[in-house]
Amino acid sequence: MRRRRWPLLTVLAFGYAFLYVPILLLILYSFNESRLVTVWTGFSTKWYVELFRNKQLLDAAWLSVRIAAVNATLAVVLGTLAANALVRHGTFRGRTGFELLLTAPLVMPDVIIGLSLLLLFVAMQQTIGWPDGRGFTTITIAHVTFSMAYVAVVVRARLSQMDRSLEEAAMDLGARPLRVYLAITLPLIAPALLSGWLLAFTLSLDDLVIASFVAGPGSTTLPMVIYSSVRMGVSPQINALATIIVAVVTLAVVIAGISMRRGRGA
C-alpha cells in the first residue's frame, strides 16, 4: 500500500506559509504604487527612490551597518579567544564560572542587559569621564557583550571537533605555537569564524531593545528609526528598506551555510 503523503505535505505547506507569507507580502507591497500599505494599485519602484532620498533613514542604516561590522569583528576575536580557553586549556581554576558567565548573555533578557549597561556607562562617565556621552561606542560595546557569547558557542563546537593531533603534528614538524595556530588551527576553524561573524553581524543589525537603552542623541540605529516611524503609520519606504535587508540577510545566510558545509567536508 502506498503511504498517503498529502497530510504531511499540507502541514509542511502551512508551516512554511506561516513563516514566509508575511515576508513575501512585505516584499510585494514594497513595489506597490499606492501610499496605503494594504491596497495594491500597481507596480512601482518609487518607494525605493524615495528611500534613497530619506537622509534620516539612510544615516540610521549606515550607523547600524558600521556598528554591526565592528561588533562582529570584535565578537569574533573575543569569542574565539574564549572558545580556545574552554576547549584547549582543560580544567583551569574558575573554568565553570567562566563558562557560566560567558553563556549567561544567551539567556539574559535584553531589557536587563540594556538597563544594566546603561547604568554602567552612566556611572563610568561620572567617575572616569569615559565613555563621553552615549552613541556609537556604547552601542558597539553593548552588542559585543552578548554577541561574543554566540560566537564562542559556534567556534567552540568547531574547535572541539578538530583532531588535536593535527596541531601536535605541526608542532612536531617544527612549527612554533603561533605558527601552528596561524597555519593549521585558523584555516580549519575559518568556516566557524565566518558564520560566527555573520551571526554577530545580524544580531547587532536587528537589535532594538539594548540599543534603545545605550543609544544617545544623534545615534539612532535602523531598528530604532523603523520602530518609531511605524508607530506614526507605516510608510512603504520601510517596506522597501525591509526588502533590501531581507535580501542581504538571505545572501549572508547562504554564504555562511555554504562555507560551513565546505568546512565539514574537509
Partner 1 sequence: MATLAERRSLEPWQDPKAVPYLRIDRITKKFGDVYAVDDVSLEIFQGEFFSLLGSSGCGKSTLLRMLAGLEYPSSGRIYIDGVDVTDVPAYSRPVNMMFQSYALFPHMSVEQNIEFGLKQDRMSRRERGERVGEMLELLKITELRKRRPDQLSGGQRQRVALARSLAKHPKLLLLDEPLGALDKRLRENTQFELVNLQERLGITFVTVTHDQEEAMTMSTRIAVMDAGQIMQVDTPTAIYEFPTCRLVAEFIGSINLFEGKVVATEGDEVVVETRVGRPMRMRSFHPMVLGTPVTVAVRPEKMRLCADFREDGVNQLKGRVEDIAYLGDVSIYRIRVGDGALVEMTLTNVQPRTEQALTWEQEVAIEWSPTSGVVLTE
172 scored as a contact of partner 1 (CB under 8 A)? yes
Q: Which stretch binds partner 1 (CB under 8 A): 37-45, 145-153, 176-184, 228-236?
A: 176-184
Q: CB atoms < 10 A from the CB of 115, how many?
A: 15
CA nearest to 103, candidates 93, 115, 95? 95
104 scored as a contact of partner 1 (CB under 8 A)? no
Q: Which of 27, 115, 171, 208 binds partner 1 (CB under 8 A)?
A: 171
CA nearest to 156, candidates 198, 189, 116, 120? 189
Q: In angstroms, what is the minimal distance from the CB of 131 to partner 1?
A: 41
Q: In angstroms, what is the minimal distance from the CB of 91 to partner 1?
A: 10
Geometric angle at alpha carbon 57, from 51 and 59, rounded to 5°:
120
Q: Which stretch binds partner 1 (CB under 8 A): 29-37, 107-115, 166-174, 192-200?
A: 166-174
Mask for 116-155, x = binds partner 1 (CB under 8 A)? ----------------------------------------
Q: Which of 93, 173, 217, 233 binds partner 1 (CB under 8 A)?
A: 173
Q: What is the full DSSP assignment across 198-240? A: HHHHHHHHT--HHHHHH--TT---HHHHHHHHHHT---HHHHH
Q: Which of 3, 165, 217, 231 binds partner 1 (CB under 8 A)?
A: 165
Q: For residues 222 and 211, is the Cβ–Cβ distance under 8 A?
A: no
* Structure letter (DSSP) for residue 131: S
Q: Which three cell numbers stand for residue 98?
A: 567562566
For residue 32, list its beta bridge partners.
Answer: 43
188 scored as a contact of partner 1 (CB under 8 A)? yes
**Total number of residues that touch partner 1 (CB under 8 A):** 20
194 scored as a contact of partner 1 (CB under 8 A)? no
User: Which lies closer to partner 1 via its Cβ, residue 57 or residue 189?
Assistant: 189
179 scored as a contact of partner 1 (CB under 8 A)? yes
178 scored as a contact of partner 1 (CB under 8 A)? no
Sign of CA dihedral 107, 112, 116, 117: positive
* Structure letter (DSSP) for residue 50: H
Q: Which of 42, 129, 174, 217 binds partner 1 (CB under 8 A)?
A: 174
Geometric angle at alpha carbon 232, from 229 and 236, rounded to 5°:
60
- Residues at the site binding partner 1, with contacts judged by CB under 8 A: 163, 165-166, 168-177, 179, 183-184, 187-188, 265-266
